[in-house]
Chain A
Amino acid sequence: QKEVEQNSGPLSVPEGAIASLNCTYSDRGSQSFFWYRQYSGKSPELIMFIYSNGDKEDGRFTAQLNKASQYVSLLIRDSQPSDSATYLCAAKQSGGGADGLTFGKGTHLIIQP
């Protein structure tokens, strides 16, 4: 059974601080990992993906992957109130486009002004 685990939160972070979101996965065959942001009542929006160990930065976002520990994280620098949303971690088994995603339940992030 492929599982992706996230702390549901809520995680409350003051505006301007760094928000740290964590995710673990059970399937060692997972190759690619994705972070999506989902606002209430809306569909997920892709933030970034990562498939190599280490860090990957994109603007205020940094994804981190540690395959040995089966651990993925997302850092959001200079957090803004508009970052308040549910953040979904997802894993995909293959390196191509043909596999569906296994999602975690999401972490509800609240950025306090």
Chain B
Amino acid sequence: GAVVSQHPSRVICKSGTSVKIECRSLDFQATTMFWYRQFPKKSLMLMATSNEGSKATYEQGVEKDKFLINHASLTLSTLTVTSAHPEDSSFYICSAASGKETQYFGPGTRLLVL
């Protein structure tokens, strides 16, 4: 149980384009989903918290207009990186929680912006 999927697993795009990443909880309903980013040899940094049906809460320093988050259902959250630039290249990981202690992580999406 408690499986979280992400799609795509890897994406390469040109600078200036937008990229959408999906995060799905497959066998439970996630009241809250989280988006993290991890640069090489660095730890995971929380970007934003999203609750189903409400606006996401962004961490300090994360641009909400650049990283658009939609949490339309209890099993799906999307992160759209708008007008991506090479410095946005990173490993993006979502996690989902059902109100209990544990967050379950998706497998991650590796984004490379050329």
Contacts and interface: CB of A to CB of B under 8 A. Distances in A.
A10 to B, nearest CB: 12
Contact of B46 (A36, A44, A88, A100): A100
A96 B99 contact: yes
B65 interface: no
Interface of B: 31-32, 34, 36, 42-46, 49, 51, 59, 93, 95, 97-108, 110
Contact of B105 (A44, A51, A96): A44
Nearest to B94: A43
B107 to A, nearest CB: 5
B105 A102 contact: no
Contacts of B49: 98-100
A72 to B, nearest CB: 15
A43 B106 contact: yes
A102 B101 contact: no
A32 B42 CA distance: 22
Contacts of B107: 42-43
